[in-house]
Structure 1
Amino acid sequence: MLRPISQTQRVVDVVIAVVCALLFGLLSFRAGGLVEIPGSTAAIILLCAALAVRRWSPVLALIGAWVGAVAQMAALDSPNLYDAMIPALVYAASACGTRAVRWAAFTSSLAGAGIAGVYVARYRFMDAMTDSIGALPDAVNAFAIVAALTAVTLLLAWTLGLLVRTAQRSRRNRQEADEAGEQVAAEQERTRIARDMHDVVAHSLAVVIAQSDGARLLRKTDPEAVEEALETIGSTARAALADVRVLLQQLRYEGTTSVQPGLADLEVLLAQFRGSGLEVAVVRDPDLGGLGTAVQLAAFRIVQESLTNALRHGDLTRQASVLLTRTPHGLEVEVVNAVDPARPPRPSPGGHGLIGMRERAGAVQGDLRAGPEGDRFRVRAFLPVGAAAGAMAAGRDASLGDWSAEPPGTAPIRTAGAR
């Protein structure tokens, strides 16, 4: 029954009601004289009281409008300027009231128009019934004119209130949608940063562990190799620290951006793996332009994570391979490494590497498959570009059918979580 409104709205409504009471009271006093002051005063007080609470309690305001109109008719007061407050009360009931109050205001507008027409033409109807039936058309015309004008005025106020109510609701819905969109964007950004953090830390630690293990084994037989391993550990750790600082800065300060790696940075990445004992052969098309930043970043991270897994779980005595093929529809990425017989891949629901690669591919509407094939582990990804991305997102691109089915001997990405 009572709506929560701000203190400012409450004060403004009360001030408007007081000003209307003083203004209409003064006008009624001058127009009517001392004899009609009590009837006019009662109607003005009731209508102004309803005006003061029209937004706080629309139902009380509507009741006040009816009581004020009845008081005016009981005092036999003719239509006056203060009746202009009634449309304002109908508007408030339509704009601020509940569904029941809103339709009660609509019904009141029609009923009030009929009552007002009868009230204004009452003497003409009485004359027609008592004196002359010829006065009936005049009475009907007076009734119709007053009822029509009153109905149009009140229904216009009701319709305006309904339009304002709809506009306010639409604005609230837009605000809620914007807030929900901001929350989704923030969550997506946190997920992206978490993926970047995993890729940076996992890769760097894998390189550091491999180099430290090699340095420990070679410290007596090859001191120069130990020095080189320590330099690699230091440079890798410093680069990882710088990347982690950038990611933490993005978490701390909204809107902070950083330069993301692309295919041009692959040689530096491969040099780190080769220095850690993993031989990598790379075959890439000479023309890899026009892929876009997002596709290049996804390809870089997929290669990085695949080789990191190969360094941790693969057979380092055998060469790994990276194949980058540009097609009319996008970029194909394939990373193959030998499986270490002593450390075969095991299903693990806690692994995040392959899940992260799948998310990387999915972020650009691509597809990724990974799993063991005999004594090797193969990661195959397709990253579409332009129209192909939209077609894959809609599932309608028949020319990409090879990627809709599992490659022979390849398990879905979720079954190789140990990687």
Structure 2
Amino acid sequence: MTHGSTPGVEDGPAPGGGARWSWRDHVPDLLAGVVGAGIGAAELSLRATWGYESTSAVFVALVAVSVVLARPLPGVALALVWSTGALHLATGDPVLLTELLLAYVAFAGARWGNRVVLALSGASIPAGVLVGGFAVLATGYSPGIVVVQGVRNLQDGLSLSLLAAVPVALLLLAAAWFGGLALRFAGNATVSRRQRELAERESARAQREAAQAHEIARLRDEQARMARDVHDVVGHSLAVILAQAESGQFLPDTDPAALKTTLATIAGTARSSLQDVQAVLSSTPVPPGRLQALVDSAGSTGFPVESRCGGTPRPLPPDLAAVAYRVLQEMLTNALKHGDRAVPLVVEQRWPEGVGEELELSVTNGIPLAPTAPRSGGRGLEGMRRRLEGVGGRLSTTGDGTRFTATARVPVRS
């Protein structure tokens, strides 16, 4: 038997018929044991006053101990009850009225005993009554329950009276046992309900935590997406501005119009970059037709650009349009930063004819004799690859030592 309380569940029957108790639960049993011992002592004293042979105080002690142990140790209490009956038959001592308290042991066996004790306590009731009745008829054992001296006058009909008391004793013990069984089922139902409520609360808490984790993951993904988009926008615009500024150094001093054109291009690129950053932060979708605008902006840097377009361009869903735009933007940025200015950039758009096919975007640039090493830790190719894989696309690169080609394939769907 386990003592103590389970957090979150009030004391009550434990699975399997046991129970969990705190020390306060034993106070009623201790009081009942003390009261039972007092009643038994008073009964012994009364019998001695009336002139009957005194019954051993052992039976009073057995009753008291059985009552005290009935709740925490119902199996031990049941064993003491059988020991009491066997001792009566062995010694021939009469039964005390105080031993009626042993019905509480039958109640306790059904209420708090495990499955074995439950079965044994139930079987003990008819078995004990039959053993007692047999002892009266076969051995002439006289229980001798006497509290009123005039009962002696009924000795002539004692056997009949005792046999009539058999069903009374059976009903008394059975009522106590079934009462304990009813409370056992009610207690188990209460515990089951509380456990179900606790499980429901735990499930609700787990769902809330899962929802919170999902929201945190969504926000982190959104932050990562914004970071990639801002990186692409700023990187592309800075590459264009840098190319314009470098080309401006080689303009003749006698051509102020060309210098103004270069400065206007730089200002327009910076303005467009600010607008793109604002669009990223506000999650504004990429408008249609921006792919060619990217190619045109690369051509305004003084970098020779060859633009080729196959098939018929058409609007893409927002998610695919954003991926195609950002990937092409990053490919152009890398080409402007690391490409050979003496070799034209070749930008190709190959649009599919039907849904379910792929849009191919490729950028080819020359490789300078002394290439500029890319910065470590950049997002570059790996960032483009992750973007494309997120929508079912892919990225491939080829190079022969003089030219480098990056090709992105974006699935087209309606």
Q: Which category of TM-score, normalised to the shorter sequence, fits these structures?
A: 0.5 to 0.7
Larger-Rg structure: 2
Distance across 2 between alignment mates of 1:386 and 1:331: 9
Of structures 1 and 2, the one scoring higher in RCO (CA 8 A, sep 6+) is 2
Q: CA-to-partner distance for each residue in 1:196-252, whole Å, 9 max, x for gaps? A: 1110110010011111111121041432111011011111112223333555xx4xx
The one-letter code sitting in structure 2 at the alignment partner of 1:299 is A
Distance across 1 between alignment mates of 2:213 and 2:351: 39
The one-letter code sitting in structure 2 at the alignment partner of 1:62 is W
Secondary structure of 1:218's counterpart equals coil
Distance across 2 between alignment mates of 1:178 and 1:75: 58
Structure 1 runs of 4+ with >3 Å offset: 1-5, 71-77, 107-110, 112-115, 125-137, 242-247, 343-349
Q: CA deviation at 1:342?
A: 2.5
Distance across 2 between alignment mates of 1:239 and 1:361: 24
**Gap change, CA 1:315 and 1:112, over 3 Å in 2:** closer
Q: 1:328-339 counterparts in 2 under 5 A?
A: 328-339=355-366
Q: CA deviation at 1:305?
A: 1.0
After the TM superposition, which of the residue ranges 359-368 and 369-378 deviates more from structure 2? 369-378
The one-letter code sitting in structure 1 at the alignment partner of 2:241 is V
Structure 1 residue 297 and structure 2 residue 322: aligned?
Answer: yes
Could you say which residue in structure 2 is the equivalent of 1:362? Answer: 389
**Gap change, CA 1:300 and 1:246, over 3 Å in 2:** closer
Structure 1 residue 226 and structure 2 residue 228: aligned?
Answer: no
Distance across 2 between alignment mates of 1:343 and 1:280: 23
Structure 1 residue 152 and structure 2 residue 177: aligned?
Answer: no
**Gap change, CA 1:359 and 1:382, over 3 Å in 2:** same
Distance across 2 between alignment mates of 1:272 and 1:76: 102
**Gap change, CA 1:241 and 1:161, over 3 Å in 2:** same
Structure 1: runs of 5 or more not aligned: 6-49, 52-59, 78-106, 251-256, 388-419
Q: CA-to-partner distance for each residue in 1:108-144, whole Å, 9 max, x for gaps? A: 96429979x979x99xx78994444444542453144
Q: 1:134-149 counterparts in 2 under 5 A?
A: 134-139=167-172, 141-149=174-182
The one-letter code sitting in structure 2 at the alignment partner of 1:306 is M
Give the % identical residues: 26
**Gap change, CA 1:386 and 1:240, over 3 Å in 2:** closer
Distance across 2 between alignment mates of 1:108 and 1:232: 94
Q: 1:126-137 counterparts in 2 under 5 A?
A: 129=132, 130=143, 131-132=162-163, 133-137=166-170
Q: CA RMSD for the aligned pairs?
A: 4.0
Structure 1 residue 265 and structure 2 residue 290: aligned?
Answer: yes
Distance across 2 between alignment mates of 1:197 and 1:311: 18
Of 38, 47, 70, the residue aligned with 2:29 is 70
Could you say which residue in structure 2 is the equivalent of 1:111? Answer: 113
Q: CA deviation at 1:350?
A: 2.3
Does the CA-based 8 Å contact 1:128-1:136 persist in structure 2?
A: no
Distance across 2 between alignment mates of 1:110 and 1:310: 82
Structure 2: runs of 5 or more not aligned: 12-18, 37-108, 133-142, 144-161
Could you say which residue in structure 1 is the equivalent of 2:238? Answer: 205
Of 261, 270, 277, the residue aligned with 1:244 is 277
Secondary structure of 1:217's counterpart equals coil
Aligned residues: 299
The one-letter code sitting in structure 2 at the alignment partner of 1:275 is S
The one-letter code sitting in structure 1 at the alignment partner of 2:332 is L
Does the CA-based 8 Å contact 2:236-2:329 persist in structure 1?
A: yes
Does the CA-based 8 Å contact 2:345-2:366 persist in structure 1?
A: no
Could you say which residue in structure 1 is the equivalent of 2:338? Answer: 313
